[in-house]
Each structure stands twice: as structure tokens, then as C-alpha cells.
Amino acid sequence: MQAFYESADLNPSFSEQPPEVVEGFCYVCQQEVGFIINTEMIRCDNNWRETMNCPKCGLINRWRSSVHVFEALVQPTAQDRIYLTEAITPLYKEIASRLPGCTGSEYVEGKPLGAKIRLPSGLTRNEDVTRLTFPDGSFEAVLSFDVLEHVPDFKQALREFYRVLAPGGQALISVPFTFQDQTVTRAEMDSEGKVQHLMEPVYHGDPLSDDGVLCYHEFGLDFLKDLRDAGFQDAFLLCFASRRWGYYDANMMFVGRKHF
């Protein structure tokens, strides 16, 4: 993968409109494929992270790259304990199929934390990332991909990630990132638990609801300080792109490492 600094250099140039298929190599499937492009999404939002589906595994750009970065940085073994802050997505199913020590969860308000709850997809563990029920040092890696923007108190979630990591563990986190210095808070929760909108509401896709889920934050470089304040001894931002692997657009991953 190559580093990048200007997103204009990341994506292929098309004279009229993007094609329906672009050839490349799927890291997950380990074979040459034709990545399927949602041309309507590209024309409307120029959002490459949520398309480029592999016809074999079905994973989109950001899911495939998340698996790739996770395996490259963590180099997990079959004995490692891994926690994902999702459990009903194709990304979770892919990682769980590779690693028997993988635990995932979703969050349904009002349901017992740490318990299995019944969702349309089946029984799923219920966890609030700001109040995880796992003991200290439970995991070698915590993976949170495009989740923390929906958590009002994301700094408490970072502290929980640090707590449940074993010494030597790593947290890999992707979030909406603006390349600005400061995180922008779009909404917050007041003392009575009511949402206060500070900007026009933005909702993202939600596997649990057709109504979508509210975006509270758009993160800046100060997220690195938030990781350090949560306890992580190392914190860095990985920026990457690859036309061959179909990682178009601004792909980023925050990494926090716990040494002791």
C-alpha cells in the first residue's frame, strides 16, 4: 500500500462516468477480480469507501481494507482473542471465520449488557462500548470500524478499549476523518439523556434500523491525543491507498498500542 497526502491522486480518472467494474486483486479472496462499483453512489457522493464490492466475498472497499490492515499490523494467531464492535455485518463474519477467538457485539438500548439478545439475524451479544462487561485484559486486539462517530461519549469508549486490552494489545479504529486539527461535534447528549443538535443532523446506514444512526462527531487529528489520554502509550494514524487492491478514496486507520 502506498501513502497519500491528496485524495485527488487516489481515484481513477474517468472521462464521462465510472464503469460498473474495475479490475483488481482482492486481499480477502487472494485472487484477481472485477470490483463492482455502485455508479450512482459515485456520481452523487463520490464515496468509494462504501462500494467496490468484490464479486467473490462481497466485501466493499473499507471492509476489505480493514481485514488487510488488521492482519498486517496485528498478525493475529488462532489463539488471539479479538473483539469487534459489530456482530451482524459481513466484515465481522469474515474475521470470525478466520479467527476462532473472535467476539462481536451490537448495542440495543434497554437490553441487558453482556447478554445474548435476539435480533433478526440471530442471537447476538449486547454491549455498550462505554460500559463493556469484559474483564480487564481480555483481548489482544479491539477493532472498531466506523462506530465511534455514533457514540456521544467516545472518549469513555477509548478508555474501555484500553482497559479490556491485554498488555501488548492494539486497538484499530476507523472513523469519519476530516484532516482538520479539531474534532467537530455535530450533536451531544444532555444531562437528561436527550440529544441536542449543534449542526444539521447527519445519519449513517445502520444494520439494526432502516432509519439510520445519528453521527455525533467528525474526527480531527486531536483524536491522537484522545487515544493517548485514554492510556495508549503509542498512537498513530495510518493513511493508505491502493488501486490494485481496490482501496480507492481516503482510507485511514487510527491505531493505539498498549504496552503494559
Show the domain range for 250: 63-257
Eight-class DSSP state of 12: P
In a domain, 242, yes or no: yes
For each successive 10 residues of the chain (260 residues), what is the average pLDDT? 40 63 96 93 82 96 96 96 97 96 95 95 95 98 97 98 98 93 94 92 80 92 98 96 90 96
In a domain, 34, yes or no: no
Q: For the domain that residue 127 is a member of, what is the CATH number?
A: 3.40.50.150
Number of domains in the chain: 1
In a domain, 16, yes or no: no
In a domain, 48, yes or no: no
How confident is the model at residue 209, as a pLDDT?
Answer: 73
In a domain, 43, yes or no: no
Residues 6+ apart with CB under 8 A from 192: none
How confident is the model at residue 1, as a pLDDT?
Answer: 40
Query: Counting runs of H as helices and runs of E as strands, what totals does the chain give?
Result: 5, 16
How confident is the model at residue 6, as a pLDDT?
Answer: 36
Q: Tell me the per-residue pLDDT of 234-253, one tens digit each, with 9 for 90 and over.
A: 999 999 999 999 998 879 99
DSSP 93-156: HHHHHH-TTEEE-B--TTSPTTSEEEETTEEEEB--TTS--SPTT-EEEEEEES-GGG-TTHHH
In a domain, 246, yes or no: yes
In a domain, 131, yes or no: yes
How confident is the model at residue 212, as a pLDDT?
Answer: 84
In a domain, 166, yes or no: yes
How confident is the model at residue 191, as a pLDDT?
Answer: 87
How confident is the model at residue 249, as a pLDDT?
Answer: 81
How confident is the model at residue 12, as a pLDDT?
Answer: 56
